[in-house]
């Protein structure tokens, strides 16, 4: 199992960051880097927002994984708690969570006047015999890159002031 932490800061108040996090998916035409993300389901129950998304990976999937997957995509199940600004998520290939599973927990918080951050604690686990640690390392790299792209899309959204 691989574990890592990612911390990203934004030069905006927490409320602006949270609004951008949610609203940018309403403007996918302006964010081509999000075009491979499809919202399958969303529901609110009290302070919690439940989402299921499909992330298509055809172009970015390493060959070692592509051969193991019949569907080159990942499903993300997530719960965002509005009262605590925390986000729990599980990401895995459809019906193949033994190949690789990403579990994470992120916290959004104000760190100063007009400045906020989100921090991720992530675990990647693969049950593939003899290749598990290689797959975990590759997925960690892909996921870190994905979080950076996500940060950039939020930053762009904030600049546009939508």
* Per-residue confidence band for 3, with pLDDT thresholds at 50, 70 and 90: very high
> What average pLDDT does this structure show over 100-118?
95
Question: pLDDT of 125-154, one tens digit each?
Answer: 999 888 889 889 988 988 898 899 889 888
Q: Where are the beta strands (DSSP E) in the chain?
A: 2-10, 37-45, 48-56, 73-81, 86-92, 101-112, 115-125
Indicate the pTM of the whole model.
0.86
Write down the pLDDT at residue 58.
60
Write down the pLDDT at residue 32.
64
Question: pLDDT of 19-63, one tens digit each?
Answer: 988 877 676 666 666 667 788 999 999 999 999 988 876 666 666
Write down the pLDDT at residue 145.
87
CA–CA gap between residue 1 and residue 39 (Å, rounded): 28
CA–CA gap between residue 39 and residue 56 (Å, rounded): 11
Regarding the domain delimited by 2-160, which CATH topology (the fold level of the hierarchy) does it fall under? Alpha-D-Glucose-1,6-Bisphosphate; Chain A, domain 4 (3.30.530)
Strand partners, 78: 51, 89
Write down the pLDDT at residue 123.
97
Give backbone dihedrals phi and psi of 35, rounded to 5 degrees, phi first: -65, -20
CA–CA gap between residue 139 and residue 156 (Å, rounded): 25
Query: Which of 4-8, 80-84, 137-141 shows the lowest per-residue confidence on average (mean pLDDT)?
Result: 137-141
CA–CA gap between residue 152 and residue 158 (Å, rounded): 10
DSSP state of 60: T
Strand partners, 125: 101
Largest Cα separation within the chain, whole Å, is 49
β pairing state of 48-56 and 73-81: antiparallel
């Amino acid at each position: 199992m691989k574990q890592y932490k990612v911390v990203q800061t934004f030069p905006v108040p927490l409320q602006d960051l949270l609004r951008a996090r949610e609203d940018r998916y309403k403007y996918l035409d302006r964010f081509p880097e999000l075009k491979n993300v499809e919202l399958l389901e969303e529901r609110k129950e009290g302070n919690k927002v439940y989402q299921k998304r499909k992330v298509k990976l055809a172009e970015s999937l390493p060959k070692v994984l592509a051969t193991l997957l019949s569907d080159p995509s990942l499903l993300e199940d997530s719960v965002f708690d509005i009262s605590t600004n925390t986000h729990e998520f599980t990401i895995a290939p459809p019906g193949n969570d033994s190949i690789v599973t990403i579990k994470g927990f992120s916290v959004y918080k104000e760190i100063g006047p007009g400045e906020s951050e989100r921090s991720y604690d992530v675990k990647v686990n693969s049950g593939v015999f003899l290749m598990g640690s290689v797959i975990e390392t590759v997925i960690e790299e892909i996921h870190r890159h994905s979080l950076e792209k996500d940060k950039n899309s939020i930053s762009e959204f904030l600049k546009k002031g939508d």
